[in-house]
Structure 1
Amino acid sequence: MTISVGQVRADLMTESSIELLPSRILELSGVLPDLACGSRVFVTWLPGVPFADVLAACDLLKLCGYLPVPHVAARSIRDEGHLQEICSALTERDIPRMLLIAGGADKPAGIFADTVQILETEIPVRTGIRTVYVAGHPEGHPQASEVTLLEYMRRKQALARTQGLNMQIVTQFCFDAAPVLAWEKRLRDGGITLPINLGIYGLTTPKTLVRYGLACGVGQSLRFMQRQRWKLHRWFVPCNPQHLVDAVAQEITQTPNTNFRGLHFYPFGAIARTLEWRRALSLSTGDHS
């Protein structure tokens, strides 16, 4: 039986995750209206923030029935002992999952500069981590070529298979579907079979999105967004990312071997509005908005 784009879209929304700062989670007392128990909530770890803040947010999320996915930033880890301490703190809390990233620090705090080095220690898997999410960059990375990024993804995939880790990709957010679909095909052609969770912006304003886009360097998509500036009367009206969701849903229905499996929301402050919209779409299987 053929599954409609609308049904796939609803399934993607139901299974999607969201990313929040520890401070926002604590501010909200861990209560996220319109987000069902058992949903994944990614907890950021920014440079200079104590990991204890991340753990406190994770504890609160667990108490409220969510599945916390803490960021673990390689460049913020001092040494193998520090890594062991972080991983053990997670598994002692029955949090066997993490998003492993290089991190935004200009200089490493210790011996780790990238995620491959973390995986090569085998400390995460030895301490009981079972699921590792890694970052995907559909529009490239300012400090690495496309060839380098693909090679690093192959190494991560190989390490995950060797160590028996469940590994998935979570991408940076994008505005335009075209570069995302092209990137996913390049990964498949390059031998990558890891499930991909596409980063989606929340229902915030175009002005906010352009500011974050400039900071994150999402080039092709940012140019797409800037071409919409003629709609100045909508500059402070919340953007709707359904065109991205539908593009992924359509790709899933048309390409049996696609790596797209889910969505990951970056609300950029518009938490309640984003979650309300997400819930509404998860309940709708129609093919038109």
Structure 2
Amino acid sequence: MHRTPTLLEDLSVEITARDTPALVARAADLPAGTRVSVTHLGTEGAAERREAAAAAARAELVPVPHLAARRFASESELRETLAGLRAHQAHERLFVVGGDPRTPAGPYASALDLIRSGVLAEAGAAEVGITGYPEGHPAIADDALWAALGAKAAALTDQGLAGSITTQFSFDVDAVVAWIERVRELGIGLPIRVGVPGPAGVRRLVAFARRCGVATSAGIARKYGFSLASLVGTAGPDRFVAELGARLDGRHGEVRLHLFTFGTLDATVAWAGEARANALPVERP
């Protein structure tokens, strides 16, 4: 069976705190229980991120606040952040990243350090998301990435926490499918959320891709649905999602979509609604 409808079930979206007004305005257009990830940017404060998470909870969505390990100056700051989230019923599902700063502000040099601290479990977290990089990371060797993924998955299991993996976005279905297959070959069975950009301007998509080390060769771009020769117009993930859905089967385990909004929450929510409405399972020839 074609897997696109399954991919579109229980999808998640990612916003920044500045997207809170748009989220409030469009919350009714998202299915109740949709996961809303709130990024941990250095340009936004803890109170802003907390309000974004609280707004999601009030709208009967599921907030998933991000915790950037290297941004925390102390364990007490981490605990204060978690207490603030708990006050708004936004502490049960979290997502842990290393964070952009090269030098840690405090005791956590990596997402693994923060998970192993035990603070998340003590604060009442039930599920913790971790990152995956189908195309690698511009500043981290592949061997280190794979070792960290396995160690983080094991640390979550050791602490009795449910886990999931959300990937960096990609325009390359081949790279994503190969990466998922290697994850499963390594015995990591966590659910995977494949990062996909919502509809956005081509120039913006290319800029984010270059910043994140995501491949944008002419061939990959053309297959995805835009041209590097003319960075005008808007591109959506329709072709990518359709091909990904067609190539997944039982070997790949639980796979869903994670939509990066890149400041275009309205367009992303509209696309998700149309995609769910139009997706019909079809038999392969």
TM-score, normalising length from structure 1? 0.89
**What corresponds to 1:90 in structure 2?**
85
**What corresponds to 2:107 in structure 1?**
111
**What corresponds to 1:73 in structure 2?**
68
**What corresponds to 2:263 in structure 1?**
269
Q: Is the 2:38–2:49 contact (alpha carbons within 8 Å) kept by the matching residues of 1?
A: yes
Say if 1:14 and 1:184 are closer, same or farther in 2 by CA, change over 3 A.
Answer: closer
CA apart distance, 1:118:
0.5
CA apart distance, 1:205:
2.0
1:146 aligns with 2:142: yes
CA apart distance, 1:267:
1.8
CA apart distance, 1:85:
1.6
CA apart distance, 1:81:
1.4
Say if 1:156 and 1:223 are closer, same or farther in 2 by CA, change over 3 A.
Answer: farther
**What corresponds to 1:242 in structure 2?**
238
1:10 aligns with 2:5: yes
**What corresponds to 1:57 in structure 2?**
52
What is the CA–CA distance in structure 2 between the aligned matches of 1:231 and 1:245, rounded to whole Å?
23
CA apart distance, 1:199:
0.2
1:50-90 per-residue CA deviation (whole Å, 9 max, x = no partner) reads 21111011112211221111111001111211122222222
CA apart distance, 1:28:
5.1
**What corresponds to 1:176 in structure 2?**
172
What is the CA–CA distance in structure 2 between the aligned matches of 1:98 and 1:68, rounded to whole Å?
8
What is the CA–CA distance in structure 2 between the aligned matches of 1:97 and 1:175, rounded to whole Å?
27
1:22 aligns with 2:22: no
Say if 1:11 and 1:258 are closer, same or farther in 2 by CA, change over 3 A.
Answer: closer
Instruction: Tell me the SS of whatever aligns to 1:109.
Output: coil
Instruction: Tell me the SS of whatever aligns to 2:235.
Output: coil
1:125 aligns with 2:121: yes
Q: Is the 1:30–1:57 contact (alpha carbons within 8 Å) kept by the matching residues of 2?
A: no
1:213 aligns with 2:209: yes
- Is there any run of 5+ residues in structure 1 with no aligned partner, and where? none
Instruction: Tell me the SS of whatever aligns to 2:188.
Output: coil
| 1:284 aligns with one of 278, 281, 284 | 278
**What corresponds to 2:27 in structure 1?**
32
CA apart distance, 1:286:
3.1
What is the CA–CA distance in structure 2 between the aligned matches of 1:24 and 1:166, rounded to whole Å?
28
Q: Is the 2:202–2:233 contact (alpha carbons within 8 Å) kept by the matching residues of 1?
A: yes
1:47 aligns with 2:42: yes
CA apart distance, 1:225:
2.1
Say if 1:116 and 1:87 are closer, same or farther in 2 by CA, change over 3 A.
Answer: same
Question: For structure 1, which segment, 88-97 or 147-156, has the greater mean C-alpha deviation from structure 2 after superposition?
Answer: 88-97
What is the CA–CA distance in structure 1 between the aligned matches of 2:18 and 2:47, rounded to whole Å?
12
What is the CA–CA distance in structure 1 between the aligned matches of 2:23 and 2:143, rounded to whole Å?
42
Percent of paired sites with the same residue: 28
Q: Is the 2:218–2:227 contact (alpha carbons within 8 Å) kept by the matching residues of 1?
A: no
Q: Is the 2:170–2:215 contact (alpha carbons within 8 Å) kept by the matching residues of 1?
A: no
What is the CA–CA distance in structure 1 between the aligned matches of 2:111 and 2:74, rounded to whole Å?
13
Say if 1:40 and 1:131 are closer, same or farther in 2 by CA, change over 3 A.
Answer: same
What is the CA–CA distance in structure 2 between the aligned matches of 1:125 and 1:224, rounded to whole Å?
41
Instruction: Tell me the SS of whatever aligns to 2:100.
Output: coil
Q: Is the 2:171–2:221 contact (alpha carbons within 8 Å) kept by the matching residues of 1?
A: yes
CA apart distance, 1:44:
1.2
**What corresponds to 1:189 in structure 2?**
185
Q: Aligned Cα RMSD in Å?
A: 2.2
CA apart distance, 1:257:
2.5
Letter in 1 for 2:11: S
CA apart distance, 1:142:
1.8
Say if 1:287 and 1:31 are closer, same or farther in 2 by CA, change over 3 A.
Answer: closer
CA apart distance, 1:164:
0.9
Q: Is the 1:87–1:129 contact (alpha carbons within 8 Å) kept by the matching residues of 2?
A: no
Instruction: Tell me the SS of whatever aligns to 1:154.
Output: helix
